[in-house]
Structure 1
């Protein structure tokens, strides 16, 4: 187990809060800006592509060529996330925790240089594409890496709150990115360079804080630095439970060391771990199965095709993102009472209902123009459901379901699945929604409803449960739901 409720007197110190937030918030900011800045900034980027092509070849690009180049610019930040996810395991094994996070920001800085200075002064949309891809590597690496580092730094009873701060910041920074990309702000042919470079502010903040950040106690124990781990815990906690927490972590690592470092094959070979792996991976990827990538990257197009007026779609997009404040405000008190599992399912049910209304309204807007307002309201409900449940629980719930020895391998494979699904959605969705209109959302609706039903039975209750009790629940469920998988 990780950290039990028996150390309830132990709490995070102010230094711990600082270390967690300076690790978590800049990475989330990078993710949000890169996702949304081209949602509203598309006209400026298309103008740059057309001008660059014409200067190079003396003729305007054919429409299909310009469309393909822009599709690559927009989607390559997601395609780059997959190799970034593949770097998570090597980074956790071969680097210190804070150096691994430093690597994220170093890669992000390189991407900004490519996208900004390189693309504009080199008059090269190829460098813009390359910069977006490199930035995607940083995004893919950061998602699972931050989940592990935060889980190893904060005390267990504050884990859900801090892990949920990542998606909150993701949506807020997405709203910032969408605002910066608007043609009334930085989304112009001369200023877009500053919009795509804004994420560098987050990396600068981390670079400044880096010298004062500690390594995680779990990492220090794994490298045999017991005294340093205890000293670090005393800096990270208040309340006097540091020695008990250290003992729990040592026991967990010692139990696993008897059979060697946990691997994917070991997890597949033990029913409890196999079920834990399946549940943790699909809970972290629920937002992708239910189409959040399409909403974050193409909400302007989605709402326009549903009948919302063109001049209103960007403001509607920003509103979709900023709902996260309402969701987070509701999440905090409900999380204390209900826990991650119930909130995860409640959010999914809200999303399911919103999707059904949206698909109906979308399909009817040609016959009844007023349904465009219903479609907008339904999309607000869909996004709110995402934010309240699957998004805010995206890293907190898998962190609660796993232990310090299984969490890195779960985070690695979750990230690989996450960015594979994101890449497929980012590339396929613009074509599918253009061809099928409302029917393009049907797969998301089906998967969302299916995951809701599965979650009710397979996810163990996590509220006021120790890690040992959660793992015991996995053992019981793996025996109860006998199948070729479990």
Structure 2
């Protein structure tokens, strides 16, 4: 029998007691549900209610419109309307900022550079040289990643102080400030406002990159944890595609409308502020961090759409009891404790691998490659949109496959495919002028590279960190992992162009070497976490640390 502690103040509560009567014959078995009326605030323990009752289950009837199942009908939790609503509220308002503000600056680059030159001319009376304008524009683009690093560093602090849901809601204040600065920069004649706005929205995106996957992982049933975790990357790919479409010259990619293009980032923030308050806080945060058992159970019941959540609650309570023995995990503990250092190294390596794989370089090269294949500028732009659409489609497929094939399998397929494809792409880029068919092959290799990235390396790193750590270590580990991801992103953006000017198409050899190392690392070190509980994953790392 499981215990109910109903903390409603008055009225009458109900206990659902499932029992099985003794069969009168081998083939005759009856099952029934007995409803026993008891006062609220009562505590039901292992007393026998009736001689015919062999097991009593006591769920909470505190949430309306929930279904009830007898405990003997055990089944895996599935996706329901409330869980889907919580996923949309958390992901659309957070990862959209990450993807949209990554891709939104590409289309209006020339327009904004001309505006910067005009601002300098107005201030000084001297038209600036192109190098000065390019430097200012480079700062505006790259400072987004610096903000992301800072957001990553403070993720753990925000997650513990405000909660996962509370942190996501609080983070929208930064969106409001950034939208104001970027949207009014042109009217104010201040490129400094745009740079500051990019920095602030970068902090917002860095926080989102830690908080949203953490929230999604903690509200997910074990059997859907990977698929739901993939939603974060899916929204990133969709938002990048949206930014590319809106940036077309026929829409908002004009000299007058590009401030609107930057300010549209407020829309997903409004959506999140309107929807996320309806959703509960992460039940794991409520129980394991705040010690609020009843609130955690109500939160879990809301998310599952059923009052039969005792199995999950028992698992969380076991983790909670274990956490009482272990002090709160600090950054130092992550490094010196063998059982924590191993998953930390795996998390940091996979986050680095995602950015150092060359995906941003291939994205940068895509338009140039399309032009080499004798596509017009407009044709190359639409081809780039097609590549973005393929990225979205393959991320959807990854969402379906991740709970079937597993995390490690998809990472191996993705990184191995990128390794082989990059070798072929390097060959094609070196010989692209030799024949037209080689340029077409280069286009194909770019598309294949994006497909391989989207299968696993694009999405899995974001939620793998949450799967590898217990509740006490998760915020600190997520902070480090997200910071490393943004740092690697910044280094690629900073170093790619200078190296490309020196090495030309041979720069892809660097990515070939990195991808080769990554494939070996994933095969040797990365564990499979599919359908494993946190207790099982932790035990696996403890065993490795003792060997």
Q: With the length of structure 2 as denominator, give the TM-score of the two structures.
A: 0.81
Counterpart selection for 1:355 from 403, 410, 422: 422
Counterpart selection for 1:139 from 195, 201, 205: 205
The answer on whether the counterparts of 1:81 and 1:139 sit within 8 Å (CA) in structure 2 is yes
In the alignment, what sits opposite 1:287? 354
In the alignment, what sits opposite 2:225? 159
In the alignment, what sits opposite 1:462? 529
Q: Unpaired segments of 5 or more residues in structure 1?
A: 1-5, 481-486
In the alignment, what sits opposite 1:123? 189
Cα distance change, pair 35–308 in 1 and its aligned pair in 2 (3 A): farther
User: 2:226, 2:265 → 1: CA distance?
Assistant: 26
The answer on whether the counterparts of 2:356 and 2:492 sit within 8 Å (CA) in structure 1 is no
| Structure 1 segment 39-438 matched on structure 2, within 5 A | 39-117=106-184, 119-221=185-287, 222-238=289-305, 240-295=307-362, 299-300=366-367, 309-438=376-505
- After TM superposition, the structure 1 stretch with the greater mean CA deviation from structure 2, 84-93 or 312-321, is 312-321
User: 1:46, 1:431 → 2: CA distance?
Assistant: 20
User: 2:208, 2:297 → 1: CA distance?
Assistant: 27
The answer on whether the counterparts of 2:214 and 2:463 sit within 8 Å (CA) in structure 1 is no
After superposition, give the CA deviation of every residue in 1:89-115 in whole Å (9 maximum; x if it has no partner): 210122132221012221122111111
Deviation of the 1:308 alpha carbon: 6.1
* Higher helix content, 1 or 2: 1
Deviation of the 1:292 alpha carbon: 2.8
- After TM superposition, the structure 1 stretch with the greater mean CA deviation from structure 2, 53-62 or 470-479, is 470-479
User: 1:98, 1:463 → 2: CA distance?
Assistant: 25
Larger-Rg structure: 2
- After TM superposition, the structure 1 stretch with the greater mean CA deviation from structure 2, 290-299 or 407-416, is 290-299
User: 2:248, 2:376 → 1: CA distance?
Assistant: 16
After superposition, give the CA deviation of every residue in 1:132-154 in whole Å (9 maximum; x if it has no partner): 11111111111011111111222
Cα distance change, pair 82–479 in 1 and its aligned pair in 2 (3 A): same
Deviation of the 1:7 alpha carbon: 7.2
Deviation of the 1:403 alpha carbon: 2.8
User: 1:296, 1:241 → 2: CA distance?
Assistant: 47
Q: With the length of structure 1 as denominator, give the TM-score of the two structures.
A: 0.91
Deviation of the 1:458 alpha carbon: 0.8
Cα distance change, pair 355–247 in 1 and its aligned pair in 2 (3 A): same
- After TM superposition, the structure 1 stretch with the greater mean CA deviation from structure 2, 449-458 or 288-297, is 288-297
The answer on whether the counterparts of 1:98 and 1:215 sit within 8 Å (CA) in structure 2 is yes
The answer on whether the counterparts of 1:20 and 1:150 sit within 8 Å (CA) in structure 2 is yes
Q: Secondary structure at the match of 2:106?
A: helix
User: 2:132, 2:325 → 1: CA distance?
Assistant: 58
Deviation of the 1:230 alpha carbon: 1.0
User: 2:501, 2:116 → 1: CA distance?
Assistant: 22
Deviation of the 1:57 alpha carbon: 1.8
The answer on whether the counterparts of 1:13 and 1:235 sit within 8 Å (CA) in structure 2 is no
User: 1:148, 1:297 → 2: CA distance?
Assistant: 30
Deviation of the 1:273 alpha carbon: 2.0
After superposition, give the CA deviation of every residue in 1:52-98 in whole Å (9 maximum; x if it has no partner): 12222222210111111111122121121111111212101221322
User: 2:101, 2:366 → 1: CA distance?
Assistant: 15
User: 1:97, 1:424 → 2: CA distance?
Assistant: 29
- After TM superposition, the structure 1 stretch with the greater mean CA deviation from structure 2, 293-302 or 259-268, is 293-302
User: 1:48, 1:445 → 2: CA distance?
Assistant: 39
After superposition, give the CA deviation of every residue in 1:247-279 in whole Å (9 maximum; x if it has no partner): 211221221221211223323333232211111
RCO higher in structure (CA 8 A, sep ≥6): 1
Cα distance change, pair 70–38 in 1 and its aligned pair in 2 (3 A): same
The answer on whether the counterparts of 1:10 and 1:237 sit within 8 Å (CA) in structure 2 is yes
